[in-house]
Amino acid sequence: MINYIKFFIQKKQSAKYIRKGHCKQCGSCCRNIVFYIGKEPVKTKQQFEQLKNFDKHYKNFYINGKDTDNKLLFTCNALSKNNKCKIYHFRAMFCRLYPNPKQSFISNGGKLQDGCGYYFEPDKKFNSFIN
């Protein structure tokens, strides 16, 4: 029980990432999306078909290429030619919160797009733990 309480207090006091900056409305995050099945990134059209069979919402995306690791990159159908979201007021919660500096996003290797106007910063400086 004591260990559980210690763990809980340490977790509460640990540094967290916070989001800073602003959106430059470049649309890059809506056209370079990587999907995962479990912890594995989607790399083939067959895997994408699997996803679409699993959840019809994946039909809102199309393949626009591959990154250097052969992960498929997807673009959202709702992205207009001038980088605006055509369903802005009805977009998913994920889109509303993006980029969300959750620990799982960062520990799973999630990165912001090159040139994104946002950046992540720890809410506590290293010095605050040793002073």
What tokens appear for 80 in the block?
A: 């207009």
Distance CA(13)–CA(19), nearest Å, equals 18
Nearer Cβ to ligand SF4 (16/84): 84
Distance CA(29)–CA(118), nearest Å, equals 11
Least spacing, CB of residue 82 vs ligand SF4, in Å: 12
Nearer Cβ to ligand SF4 (30/51): 30
Q: Which amino acid is at 50?
A: Q
Q: How many whole angstroms from its chain centre is CA 87? A: 19
Neighbours of 25 (CB within 10 A): 11
Least spacing, CB of residue 65 vs ligand SF4, in Å: 16
Mask of contacts with ligand SF4, 15-54, x by CB under 6 A?
--------xxxxxxxx------------------------
**Contact footprint for ligand SF4 (CB under 6 A):** 23-30, 76, 78-79, 85, 87, 91, 95, 99, 113, 116-118
